[in-house]
Amino acid sequence: MSELVIDPVTRIEGHMLLRVTVENEKAVDAYCSGTLWRGFERILLGRDPRDAPVILSRVCGVCHEVHRIASTLALEDAAGLTPPDNAIRIRNIVEGVTTIYSHATSLLVLTGPDLGVYGLAGKEHPNELELDGEKYNKLLHETILPTQMLCHEVLAIFGGKVPHHMTTIPGGVTTSLKPDKIALAYLKMTRIKETILTVYNYLHGEFIPHLKNEHPELVDVLLNIGVGVKNFLSYDVYPEPEENYKPFFKGGVIINGKPEEFNIDKIAEYVKHSRYADESGGKPSEEIPPIDEYDKTGAYSWIKAPRYDGNPCEVGPLAKMVVAGLYKPLSPHGASLLDRILARLEEAKILVDKVLEWINTLNPSEPVFKEYEVPNSGTGVGLWEAPRGALGHWIIISNGKIERYQLVVPTTWNASPRDGAGRRGPIEEAIIGAPVPGNEDPINVLRIVRSFDPCLACSVHLIGPKQEFTVEISHTHL
């Protein structure tokens, strides 16, 4: 038996440390640690609730639009307010475009290089998943970066700026709906759509068929590794005014392959293996502000362990698409490394059409916001879907101020450590069984981790001035 230690994991957002136990060239156990302590839930205490969306949008520079939206939803819930249709559409557009941007980053910059960027920039197309640096550089500068720039331009039209849009406020949005701006956004989206379709058609029309025909053993590996916990969770997202506010992606939960009625009260966070005092866990609506306890026995992560009815759940594009009935996994196990990547691409393709539709339904003659007043007291929940999955914000207001605030974020679910019952988190579980050539090559382990597109900044929700990093991959025999 030997141990692989990867610290930090690269080409993901933030600081993750992985310990993988290896036996006979296979991963047999894994420990995933978030190595940063953040303190957003404590920063908010005693503040005006209207500060929350603005401060919390800075939780992350990657999913830089979603926390403002989720926090605003929590405030509106506490006030019993529904924003006007135009505001709902603009939030959908902002969310859709940020997800497309984020997926392009994951597919082509973070995860893609592990898979030779799918032959688009691979050595000798069709390839053995090895990246050609020169071709990749060309793809990056001629296609990926210009497309991402277009996404940011559309976001700036509706959100005022990128990152961290400024227009979502409790009661609606502050975007002015000028017809020329709407037309410009539409035009930019059609160009984004062209690129997404080109990548999509290439992958499904050429790359995957080629792999299946010429390298079936590779497809077999990609569909049989990274399976994970096989439980999926997602929240309703993209309410459509034209469809009686039905969410375009219907959320829900699937446990062991069976869909279950979603019940928010079944969500709880466990901290037995997290660096917080034991009383820091519980139901998000009741959790106390986190109390850090770095040296707690058995603790190995700053990430908590959210569970649904005690079950670890995968969240993200695969979960969202499977729960909504929009993706059928290719793997006989119901999930895999390849399914996670393909579901992400599928979601981007679906969203680009929906964003065009939402832009078309904007009505410049109707309002974009309603008056909002901070209630003297109340509780609110904002459930939403970030690019990486299910995002929840919970607020308690008393005397017009924030008494408590809790975020449970996508990567908190996926990169969670073991819970109170000792069950592994989804990424930990997905690593089990990964081939580790020579008992030391981490490539498959890293491919699996990156297929979740984790974000550690979000999941731990100020780095200490004395924090130190070790940048090395070591391999020690036990």
Count residues binding Mg ion (CB under 5 A).
1
Say how far apart CA 406 and CA 471 lie, in whole Å.
32
- The binder of 15, among ligand NFE, Mg ion, none, by C-beta within 5 to 8 A per type, is none
Under the binding rule (CB under 5 A), the answer on residue 70 touching Mg ion is no
**390 near ligand NFE, rule: CB under 6 A:** no
According to CB under 6 A, which one of 391, 408, 431, 446 is a site residue for ligand NFE?
391
| Residue 267 contacts which entry, Mg ion, ligand NFE, none (Cβ below 5-8 A, type-dependent) | none
- Tell me the β-bridge partners of 398: 401
Binders of Mg ion in range 400-419 (CB under 5 A): 407
Q: Which amino acid is at 281?
A: G
Judged by CB under 6 A, the residue of 15, 89, 188, 388 near ligand NFE is 388
Rg (CA), the chain: 22
Task: Compare residues 412 and 444 and give the one whose CB is closer to ligand NFE.
Answer: 412
Please state the closest distance from residue 128 (CB atom) to ligand NFE, in A: 31
248 or 384: whose CB is closer to ligand NFE? Answer: 384
Q: Rounded to 5, what percent of the chain is helix, strand, coil?
A: 40, 20, 35
Q: Which helix (H) or strand (E) holds 253?
A: strand 252-255
Q: Is the N-terminal amide bond of 306 cis, ω within 30° of 0? A: no
Residue 59: CB minimum distance to ligand NFE, A: 7
Q: Of these partners, Mg ion, ligand NFE, none, which one is at the site of residue 100 (CB under 5 to 8 Å by kind)? A: none
The residue of the chain with the least Cβ separation from Mg ion equals: 407
State which residue, 13 or 287, has the beta carbon closest to ligand NFE.
13
Give the total of residues touching ligand NFE (CB under 6 A): 16
**Residue 7 host element (H or E):** strand 2-7
Binding status of residue 449 toward ligand NFE by CB under 6 A: no
Specify the DSSP class assigned to residue 399: T
Q: Is the link from the previous residue into 163 a cis peptide, with omega within 30 of 0?
A: yes
Angle at 98 between CA 305 and CA 73, to 5 degrees: 60
Nearest approach, Cβ of residue 191 and ligand NFE (Å): 24
Do the beta carbons of residue 176 and residue 157 sit within 8 Å? no
Q: How far apart are CA 409 and CA 38, in angstroms?
A: 13
Rounded to whole angstroms, the Cα distance separating 420 from 409 reads 19
Q: Name which of 139 and 340 has its Cβ closer to ligand NFE.
A: 340
Query: Mask: binding to ligand NFE, 224-263, rule CB under 6 A, as x and -?
Result: ----------------------------------------
411 makes contact with ligand NFE (CB under 6 A): yes
Interacting span for ligand NFE (CB under 6 A) from 122-130, 158-166, 285-293, 406-414: 406-414
Residue 420 C-beta: closest distance to Mg ion, Å = 16
Return the number of the residue (101 or 248) whose C-beta is nearest ligand NFE: 101
Task: Tell me: does residue 154 bind Mg ion (CB under 5 A).
Answer: no
Cα–Cα distance measured from residue 317 to residue 152, given in angstroms and rounded to the nearest whole number: 21
Whose Cβ is closer to ligand NFE: residue 167's or residue 411's? 411
Q: Concatenate the DSSP letters of all residues of 188-233 into one string.
A: HHHHHHHHHHHHHHHIIIIIHHHHHHH-HHHHHHHHHS--TT--EE
* Residues near 299 by beta carbon (within 8 Å), at least 6 away in sequence: 271, 272, 273, 274, 275, 276, 293
- Contact mark string toward ligand NFE, 9..38, x via CB under 6 A: ----x-------------------------
CB closer to Mg ion, 31 vs 413: 413
Stretch that binds ligand NFE, among 168-176, 338-346, 349-357, 403-411 (CB under 6 A): 403-411
Binding mask 360-399 for Mg ion (x = CB under 5 A): ----------------------------------------
Interaction of residue 66 with ligand NFE, rule CB under 6 A = yes
Q: Indicate which of ligand NFE, Mg ion, none lies near residue 386 (CB less than 5 to 8 Å, by partner kind).
A: ligand NFE
Give me the least distance between CB of 407 and ligand NFE, in Å please.
Answer: 8
55 exposure class (CB count in 10 Å sphere: 0-12, 13-18, 19+)? middle
The answer to whether 448 and 225 have CB atoms below 8 angstroms apart is yes
Element (H, E) at 356: helix 337-361
CA distances from residue 69 to 52, 98, 182, 193 in whole angstroms, order as listed = 10, 12, 21, 24
Output phi, psi for 277, to 5 deg. -60, 145
Q: Which residues contact 432 (CB under 8 A, 6 or more apart)?
A: 27, 28, 29, 30, 424
Q: Is 75 helix (H, G, I), strand (E, B) or coil?
A: helix
Q: Which does 66 bind (CB under 5 to 8 A by kind): Mg ion, ligand NFE, none?
A: ligand NFE
Identify the residue among 30, 63, 88, 342 touching ligand NFE (CB under 6 A).
Answer: 63
Q: Which residues bind Mg ion (CB under 5 A)?
A: 407
Q: Which residues bind ligand NFE (CB under 6 A)?
A: 13, 60, 62-63, 66, 386-388, 391, 409-411, 455, 457-459
